[in-house]
Each structure stands twice: as structure tokens, then as C-alpha cells.
Amino acid sequence: MFDGLKDKLSGFREDVEASTEVDEEASPEEGAAPGSDADASDEAPEGGAAATAAEADAVEADETTSDDDEPSTFQRAKAFATGRIIIEEEDLEEPLWNLEMALLESDVEMSVAEQILDSVRESMLGESRKQVETTGELVESALHDALLDVIAVGQFDFEQRIAEADKPVTIVFTGVNGVGKTTSIAKLSEWLADRGYSSVLANGDTYRAGANEQIREHADRLGRDLISHDQGGDPAAVIYDGVEYAEANDIDVVLGDTAGRLHTSDDLMAQLEKIDRVVDPDMTLFVDEAVAGQDAVNRAKEFDDAAAIDGAILTKADADSSGGAAISVAYVTGKPILFLGTGQGYDDITRFDPEALVESLLDEE
């Protein structure tokens, strides 16, 4: 999953290591005192190392500091004398450009890519690190923090929210046609059942021919009750009936399907507004395909602007090599990705874990 993006991030690490390699090799000559043998510093006893550091400190008093923020030759020499290296702007210029292109090619939204680049640059520019902490480790740390900052936006404990909420909890699902919305409802019903929560399905997709049959097939396979009306009925009334049924039968969660729609469809958006007024759902979840990339990111933002969402489910994540939607949706909307669909079975849905995703993207194995 997201192997293409993983390869591109690995390429950035290699670029930075290559760009700093020449500087690290040059540092001994820059940092050596007149008449000294820089190569002998590695073999010097502790006292010698301390003396070297002391000499560097003594020279500092006579140095004139630069007016700009760039590390001076003296600073670089002193850093090396004390066993450290400094990352400079010129070391990052080309690798950051390549990283930006790699992120955009992976369908990461522009503002998200810029935020990642700014964060990486801030973490690394002028940063000194002990040489035992390799440049690669420094890059990985900077990427880890930058990616996590954008991916983890708005995260909350979904199961805890279900556990603590008054029952029944009503969850309404929105999104465009054909992205796996109804199947995601069935998967989430099974996910809840595995954790001891009962659920009822309510078919608010009352306009699409065959919608009742599709969701009823899922309900029958899972042994769930289904609330539905005749085609053309009022979606808000269907989901409201689902809530009343849940209250009467001590069911924990109502999962309400809605018609697939575009944010530009005024009548369908008006239906969502009516559902909000009539049912007042506890959560509205946006569903789209991870493989839709930038389109999924744009739609998530548009749906959130038109009818506020609380989180997102990305389907077909197992087939997505770019990872652009997974990287971007939360940052663009301010609302978290909560689940990933990872296959065809009812058990193929997993809670979205930003930390685990970042670690997998940066894992070199």
C-alpha cells in the first residue's frame, strides 16, 4: 500500500545524503588548525578532543558573526571540531525540489506538499547533529514529523466516541456514486459487531434504482435489520425511522446510507441539510476512493464546505500506490481519515493509524 510514495520519500533521503557528503568530506580541511593533521582527530584521546573544542571556543571570541542566517565557515569548522555537522540551504535546495515534484506526482494536494516542505526545511536547515546521528536519520526524523503533522489532523478515538455517546449513535454516510459507500456501511457494521455494538442499516438512498436491493443483500449476509422505504421516498424519513427502530429495540448504532451526489447537485445537498435538521446525526462520514487521488481530496473539501463532515473513509487503499489522498484529506478539510477499506471482504476495513502509516512510508525494508 502506497509503495510508490514510499519509494519517492526514500529518494529524498538519498538525495540529501548525497548532497551533504561532499560538505562532510571537506569539513576536516576547513576545521583544521594551521599545521595540524585533521585526519588524526578521530584517533585523539578524550583530552585531545576537549582541547580541540576549547581551541574552537577560543577562536570564536575573535570571529565576526555574519549578518545573515547562513552558517559561516567558522561555524562549520567548529561544528566539525566538536564532532557535529551542519545542514545548509544549498544542501537542501535540489532535494527539496525533487521532493516537491515527487509529492505532487503522488497526488498530494499543493498546500499539503508546501506544508511538508516548509516543515522539513525548518527542521533541517542549519541544524547540527552529532556525526553518529547520520544524515539519513536526520532526514527520516524531519520527514516523520512533517508527514505526521499533516496526516494526523483532527484525529479522534472513534471507538471511544461510540462507547461514550448516548445510544443510539446515528452515523450518516455521504459521497459520490460508485466509490463503495454502501459496502463501507456494511463493513463498518461488521467492525462494530466485532467490538460488541449492534447496528441497524437505514437506506436513505431512495432515488437510485436497485439501491434497496444492494443494501438489503449486505444486511441479509450480515444478519442485520434494514429500514427502507419505497423508491422515491423521503431520505430523512427513512433514517428517522431507523433511529426510532434503534431506540425501540436497544440497538447501539444507526448506519444511514444516502444517495450518491455531487456537491454541485443542489437538490441532493438539500436532502443532506434536511437529514441534519430532522435526524441531527452524531457523525457524518465522507466516503471516497483512495485511488481517486487529487479528485478525492477536492471532493472531500467541497463536501465539507457544503455539509460539514466529521471524518472520512477511503476505500481501495490496498490498490493505491500514490497515497496522495491519504496524505492530504485530513489537512485540507481539518477532519480526520477514520478508516481505510483494504479489500472486498466485510473484515477488510481498518482504523486509520497516522503513526503506523508514516512509519511504513519511511521503512527502508
Same domain, 162 and 142: no
CA separation, residue 113 to residues 97, 119, 237, 312 (Å): 11, 10, 43, 20
> Is 292 annotated as contributing to ligand binding?
no
Return the higher-pLDDT residue of 92 and 110. Answer: 110
State yes or no: 257 annotated in a binding site. yes
Determine if residue 315 is labeled as part of a ligand binding site: yes
360 belongs to a structural domain: no
For the chain, the maximum distance between any two Cα atoms, rounded to a whole number of angstroms, is: 93
* Pairing of β 253-258 and β 225-227: unpaired
- The number of CA neighbours under 13 Å toward the Cβ of 211 is 27
Quote the number of domains for the chain.
2
Q: What's the whole-number mean pLDDT along residues 254-258? A: 94
| Residue span of the structural domain in which 278 resides | 158-353
Q: How many residues does the chain have?
A: 365
Binding residue per annotation — 180? yes
Same domain, residue pair 101 and 50: yes
What's the alpha-carbon Rg for the chain, to the nearest Å? 28
Please tell me the distance from the alpha carbon of residue 39 to that of residue 33, in angstroms, as a whole number.
Answer: 12
Q: For residue 258, say whether it is annotated as part of any ligand binding site.
A: yes
Listing DSSP states for 299-325 in one string gives: HHHHHHHHS--SEEEEE-GGG-SS-HH
Nearest one of 228, 226, 154, 163 to 192, comparing CA atoms: 163
**What average pLDDT does the structure give for the chain?**
78
The reported pTM is 0.77
pLDDT tens-digit series, residues 102-158: 888 888 889 999 999 998 888 776 655 554 456 667 778 888 899 999 999 999 999
Last residue of a domain, one of 117, 151, 185: 151
Is 181 flagged in the annotation as binding?
yes
Residues 203 and 337 in one domain: yes
Mean local confidence (pLDDT), 292-301: 87
Question: Could you read off the pLDDT of 25-76 as tens digits, one per residue?
Answer: 444 444 444 444 444 444 444 444 444 444 444 444 444 444 454 555 555 5
What is residue 141's predicted lDDT score, i.e. its pLDDT? Answer: 83
Contact predicate 239/185, CB 8 Å? no
Q: Are residues 77 and 179 in the same domain?
A: no
Q: Could you read off the pLDDT of 210-246 as tens digits, one per residue? A: 788 899 999 999 999 999 888 778 889 999 999 999 9
4 is in an annotated binding site: no
pLDDT at residue 20, as a whole number: 61
111 with 218, same domain: the answer is no
What pLDDT is stored for residue 194 in this prediction? 96
Q: Is residue 361 part of a domain?
A: no
Reported as a single tens digit per residue, the pLDDT across 143-198 is 889 999 999 999 999 999 999 999 999 999 998 888 899 999 999 999 999 999 99
CATH number of residue 294's parent domain: 3.40.50.300
Q: Which three cell numbers stand for residue 349?
A: 476495513
**Which CATH number characterizes residue 44's domain?**
1.20.120.140
Grid-cell match 522539513, residue found: 120
Whether residues 266 and 217 fall in one domain: yes
